[in-house]
């Protein structure tokens, strides 16, 4: 009985400390954002009506949400973000799948080197890699000079500060997140299985669609979610590479908060964004736990 | 067969060119004498010199390094505890909610994390008087919260992949869970904890959006200074800064990769 006590304490410590931290600094903040989204903005510090005023009692208003549905800006931002994130995810898949396949089929040391080269950009600054594209895409930038030099265009194209630049930036920044989970599933794919399928008369295309693709499907879903979810709320890429009409919701939220200083409205924008992302995030959480369980 | 191999090979070439040409171009332009990124007027180190003399950038870099060190250390502690809880302690009450809160920060858009943490800090300040002012401390708390999720993933992967026979043998010999964890498990997962620490360190060093929300007026981290410069257009001293950062990180990752490759080779050949 006495010996069991320190063990119970140990168990409680290991679970309790990270649990408390996540409740305090991850879950509680969402509850507060939800509460503030039902407040009015006021000119004070902090700039919203108090949570509970002794004189007035509990004050709740749905004005912020009403405003979200009335002003086109927010609808357009949400829809445009979903479109940009979805198309970028698809492009990442189209570029990343053959790359992951090639890495998984590479021999010995080559495989590790190729993998390391995918991981390397992930460790270097995200902000600086987005900035690198500003130099590539500007009016006198490398891309325009190359196109001019090849005689494909006569006037420099406006590429920087357009939607195209945002697509390019997102695909570039998130490509490693697509390749790594794809590689993890394709690496497990048994070479013997492919040989057997080929021996049984499967043509390459048939083998790919009947064997390779189904086996790698969990990687496609995991990579897709790892790109789609953060890309939907992306701020840096539309802010640096996008034009004035590139309204992505992450940038709209940021401007609402920092430029208009309307905290309750920004909270309402964030709440709706979390609601949109709820299903994809739960899906992501399920497959990441299923993956951890499968390897056990 | 040959056709497919050519296709895969050209995809790899295109993909790696896409990943590396912008970075390498930026490094090359950092040695250009001209302010413009369109004409090459000669080799020069003047932007590196300008960088070295820019006190705003140096101060911001020191602040960022300090925050990254503190938050990586705490994130490693918390993330390792969380990984142990998820993979060694079986069922406990609220496990599903716990794993959900642990996975969500990996994909949560930064604007949401930043906004919600700021709202928390402002509300706490109103209720408890803490945190008295926003700055390095609040940025560190925010970074610990999202970096611990990454550490937990790295450590948990190691915990589930590794051979459990040593731990089981220690248990059979009468070891208690706490003793076995500290004496057997911890040394085995130490390399994973180190990579988790490095990951948390670079994530903290790199974060712009969350820090912008939760920092105060006096504390600007390095990404915040860089962002305020490049928002106005191309800045040649940022090219030099980028070259410095990319070289340091690149050499570090290559060295780590080489070390891992060497140890892996030793294990497979059985040499000491």
Q: Which residue of A has its CA nearest to B121?
A: A29
For A270-288, write each residue's pLDDT tens digit.
999 999 999 998 888 888 7
Q: Which of A126, A144, A140, A146 lies closest to B32, judged by CA? A: A140
Q: Which residues of B touch A126 (CB under 8 A)?
A: 206
Q: Which of A289, A264, A284 lies closest to A65, judged by CA? A: A264
Q: Which of B148, B95, B99, B138 lies closest to B116, judged by CA? A: B138
Integer Cα distance of B6 and B226 in angstroms: 41
Q: Environment class of residue B52 by beta-carbon count within 10 Å: exposed (0-12), middle (13-18) or buried (19+)?
A: middle
Q: Is the pLDDT of residue A42 over 90?
A: no
- pLDDT-derived band of residue A33, with 50, 70 and 90 as boundaries? very high
For domain B60-222, give the fold: MetI-like fold (1.10.3720)
Angle, in degrees to the nearest 10, between helices A63-70 and A263-295: 90
The predicted structure's pLDDT at residue A113: 87
pTM, entire model: 0.90
Task: Enter the tokens of residue A98.
Answer: 């053959």
User: Residues in chain B with pLDDT < 70?
Assistant: 1, 264-272
Across the interface, whether the CB atoms of A46 and B122 are under 8 A apart is answered: yes
Mean pLDDT computed over every residue of chain B: 89
Measured between CA atoms, how close is B109 to chain A, in angstroms?
5
Q: Which residues of B touch A128 (CB under 8 A)?
A: 26, 226, 238, 241-242, 245-246
For chain A, domain boundaries: 72-295
Across the interface, whether the CB atoms of B111 and A285 are under 8 A apart is answered: no
Q: Which residue of B has its CA nearest to A287?
A: B103
Across the interface, whether the CB atoms of A29 and B178 are under 8 A apart is answered: no
Sequential DSSP letters for A40-65: -B-SSSSSB--SEETTTEE----HHH
Quick check: helix, strand or coil at residue B32?
strand
For A50-109, write each residue's pLDDT tens digit.
776 666 667 788 889 999 889 888 999 999 999 999 999 999 999 999 999 999 988 878
The predicted structure's pLDDT at residue B269: 53
The predicted structure's pLDDT at residue B271: 42
The predicted structure's pLDDT at residue B233: 80
Q: Which residue has the tokens 């009506």?
A: A49
The more confidently predicted of residues A53 and A14 is A14
Residues 6+ apart with CB under 8 A from B29: A135, B37, B236, B239
A105 touches chain B (CB under 8 A): yes
The predicted structure's pLDDT at residue B127: 84
Q: Environment class of residue A295 by beta-carbon count within 10 Å: exposed (0-12), middle (13-18) or buried (19+)?
A: exposed
Integer Cα distance of B242 and A172 in angstroms: 17
Strands A52-53 and A57-58: antiparallel
Give, in degrees to the nearest 5, the angle at Cα A160 between A155 and A165.
120
Contact A257, A185 (CB under 8 A): no
- pLDDT-derived band of residue A1, with 50, 70 and 90 as boundaries? very low
The CATH code that applies to domain A72-295 is 1.10.3720.10
Give A286-295's long-range contacts (Cβ < 8 A, gap of 24+).
A287/A218, A287/A221, A287/A222, A287/A225, A288/A222, A288/B103, A288/B106, A288/B153, A289/B99, A289/B103, A291/A218, A291/A222, A292/B86, A292/B87, A292/B156, A292/B157, A292/B160, A295/B157, A295/B160, A295/B161
- Best interface-test mutation with A: which of B7, B22, B137 has the largest number of A CBs within 10 A? B22
For chain B, domain boundaries: 60-222
Find the CB nearest A295 among B92, B161, B239: B161
Give, in degrees to the nearest 5, the angle at Cα B86 between B85 and B92.
70
Q: Determine what percent of chain B is predicted with pLDDT higher than 70.
A: 96
The predicted structure's pLDDT at residue B270: 45
Integer Cα distance of B179 and A246 in angstroms: 56
Across the interface, whether the CB atoms of B161 and A102 are under 8 A apart is answered: no
* ipTM summary value: 0.89
Q: Which residue has the tokens 């992306």?
A: A234
Q: Which residues of B touch A282 (CB under 8 A)?
A: 100
Q: Which of B53, B64, B14, B59 lies closest to B212, judged by CA? A: B64
For B164-222, write each residue's pLDDT tens digit.
888 888 888 888 888 888 888 999 999 899 989 999 999 999 999 999 999 988 889 99
Task: Enter the tokens of residue B231.
Answer: 């928002």
Task: Enter the tokens of residue A267.
Answer: 């909270």
Cβ contacts below 8 Å, chain A against chain B, sum to 270
The predicted structure's pLDDT at residue A53: 64
For A177-194, write each residue's pLDDT tens digit.
999 999 999 988 777 777
Measured between CA atoms, how close is A295 to chain B, in angstroms?
6
Integer Cα distance of A228 and B78 in angstroms: 28
């Amino acid at each position: 009985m006495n010996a069991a006590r320190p063990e119970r304490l140990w168990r409680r410590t290991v679970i309790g400390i990270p649990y408390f931290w996540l409740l305090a600094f991850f879950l509680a903040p969402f509850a507060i954002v939800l509460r503030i989204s039902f407040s009015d903005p006021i000119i004070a510090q902090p700039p919203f009506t108090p949570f509970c005023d002794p004189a007035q009692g509990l004050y709740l208003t749905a004005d912020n949400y009403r405003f979200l549905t009335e002003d086109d800006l927010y609808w357009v931002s949400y829809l445009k973000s979903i479109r940009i994130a979805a198309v970028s995810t698809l492009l990442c898949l189209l570029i990343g799948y053959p790359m992951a396949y090639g890495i998984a089929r590479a021999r010995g040391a080559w495989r590790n080197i190729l993998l390391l080269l995918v991981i390397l950009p992930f460790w270097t600054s995200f902000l600086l890699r987005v900035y690198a594209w500003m130099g590539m895409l500007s009016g006198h930038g490398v891309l325009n000079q190359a196109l001019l030099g090849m005689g494909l265009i006569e006037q420099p194209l406006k590429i920087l500060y357009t939607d195209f630049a945002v697509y390019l930036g997102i695909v570039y920044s998130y490509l490693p997140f697509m390749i790594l989970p794809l590689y993890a599933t394709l690496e497990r794919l048994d070479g013997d299985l492919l040989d057997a399928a080929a021996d049984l008369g499967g043509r390459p295309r048939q083998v790919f669609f009947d064997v390779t693709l189904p086996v790698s499907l969990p990687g496609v879903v995991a990579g897709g979610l790892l790109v789609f979810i953060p890309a939907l709320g992306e701020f840096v890429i539309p802010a640096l590479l996008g034009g004035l009409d590139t309204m992505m919701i992450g940038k709209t939220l940021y401007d609402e908060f920092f430029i208009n200083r309307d905290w309750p409205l920004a909270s309402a924008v964030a709440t709706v964004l979390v609601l949109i992302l709820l299903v994809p995030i739960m899906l992501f959480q399920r497959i990441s736990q299923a993956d951890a369980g499968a390897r056990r | 067969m040959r056709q497919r191999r050519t296709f895969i090979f050209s995809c790899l070439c295109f993909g790696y060119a896409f990943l590396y040409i912008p970075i390498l171009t930026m490094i090359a332009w950092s040695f250009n004498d001209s302010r413009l990124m369109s004409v090459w007027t000669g080799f020069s180190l003047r932007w590196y010199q300008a960088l070295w003399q820019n006190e705003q950038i140096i101060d911001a870099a020191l602040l960022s390094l300090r925050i990254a060190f503190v938050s990586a250390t705490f994130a490693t502690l918390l993330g390792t505890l969380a990984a142990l809880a998820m993979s060694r302690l079986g069922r406990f009450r609220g496990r599903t909610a716990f794993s959900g809160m642990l996975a969500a920060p990996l994909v949560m858009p930064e604007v949401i994390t930043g906004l919600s943490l700021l709202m928390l800090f402002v509300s706490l300040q109103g209720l408890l008087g803490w945190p008295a002012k926003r700055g390095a401390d609040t940025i560190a708390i925010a970074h610990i919260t999202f970096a611990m999720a990454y550490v937990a993933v790295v450590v948990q992967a190691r915990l589930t992949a590794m051979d459990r026979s040593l731990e089981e043998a220690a248990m059979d010999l009468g070891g208690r869970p706490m003793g076995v964890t500290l004496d057997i498990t911890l040394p085995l997962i130490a390399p994973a904890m180190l990579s988790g620490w490095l990951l948390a360190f670079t994530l903290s060093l790199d974060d712009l959006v969350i820090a912008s929300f939760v920092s105060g007026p006096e504390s600007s981290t390095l990404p915040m200074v860089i962002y305020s410069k490049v928002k106005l257009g191309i800045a040649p001293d940022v090219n030099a800064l980028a070259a410095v950062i990319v070289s340091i990180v690149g050499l570090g990752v290559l060295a780590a990769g080489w070390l891992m490759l060497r140890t892996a080779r030793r294990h497979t050949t059985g040499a000491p």
